[in-house]
Structure 1
Amino acid sequence: MRGQGKTTIARKVYNCDNTFSHFDVRAWCIVCQTYNRRKLLQEILSQVTSSKDKGDKDDILADELRKSLMCKRYLIVLDDMWDFMA
């Protein structure tokens, strides 16, 4: 379903003042068709905590992310920007 404006409307909601004030934490990540789980976790964690790449294993990154989101309202958007060959 390309070209239907899904990302555009999601971005408008994400950047809305009401959304901003409702959530403690927000993150927007672009996911490729062949994504790397560790890089995705690092990207989300860096947006949530403003920390840099720690080079940890997937399970450690996932646990750090879980701990940092615990008891918070959060919005995490995983946008799928896949490259389709026409």
Structure 2
Amino acid sequence: MAAGDGTRAPIDDETCAAVLNRLKRAQGQLAGVIAMIEDGRGCKDVVPQLAAVSRALDRAGFKIVASGMRQCIEARDGEDAPPLTEDELERLFLALA
């Protein structure tokens, strides 16, 4: 079955907590960027904050991909979840590129 259809093992609790923390931080940063734009702040102020939001989202995505890779390796060592295929892993990486 295709990735994203709910057949893969869920993100483990530790990774989930770390990803949610990063996403919540990014959400706060994005709210700040929106407020800066609404207040008429210039690009010198806005762009660095927008870049920080982008990095936070990228790091959350990379954390999820890394967790999937670990699950793939564990699946090959006898876990119940079917391993991610090489094509699926490549698509995940490319989605973040």
Question: What TM-score range do you get, normalising by the shorter chain?
Answer: 0.3 to 0.5
Which structure has the larger Rg?
A: 2
TM-score by length of 2: 0.30
Whose strand fraction is larger, Structure 1's or Structure 2's? 1
Whose helix fraction is larger, Structure 1's or Structure 2's? 2
TM-score by length of 1: 0.33
Higher relative contact order (CA 8 A, sep 6+): 1
